[in-house]
């Protein structure tokens, strides 16, 4: 997989994990809770974590409403903080 494809994948994985937790990334940026630089850092953190396949499996699980994400996700703290703000 090329670097751009990896970045694209992790962009969507990061957004997906946020959505699973009940966080709207676009809304968080619009409301000033998250900058574009912060989001880019989250994507980089996701990309360097090395567990993308695991996260894709988590995101594939069906459920209703906000659901938990793994607490060892490197973006867990940021995402739970955003959830509390939204």
Mean pLDDT calculated for residue range 45-59: 95
* Closest listed residue to residue 47, CA positions, set 82, 81, 86, 17: 17
Alpha helix (H) residue ranges in 2-75? 3-21, 25-30, 36-49, 52-60
Our measurement of the distance from residue 59's CA atom to the centroid of its chain's CA atoms, rounded to an integer in Å, reads 10
Mean pLDDT calculated for residue range 45-57: 95
Residue 64: pLDDT over 90:
no
Where does the chain show beta strands of DSSP type E?
none
Q: What is the pLDDT of residue 1?
A: 56
Q: What is the pLDDT of residues 5-41, one digit of tens each?
A: 767 999 999 999 999 999 999 999 999 999 999 999 9
66 band by pLDDT with thresholds 50, 70 and 90: confident
Residue 4: pLDDT over 90:
no
Q: Which residue has the tokens 């396949």?
A: 53
């Amino acid at each position: 997989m090329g670097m751009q494809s990896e970045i694209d994948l992790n962009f969507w994985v990061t957004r997906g994990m946020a959505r699973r937790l009940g966080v709207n990334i676009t809304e968080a940026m619009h409301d000033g809770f998250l900058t574009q630089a912060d989001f880019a850092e989250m994507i980089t953190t996701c990309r360097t974590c090395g567990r993308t396949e695991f996260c894709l499996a988590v995101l594939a699980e069906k459920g209703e409403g906000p659901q938990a994400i793994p607490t060892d996700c490197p973006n867990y703290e940021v995402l739970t903080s955003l959830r509390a703000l939204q």
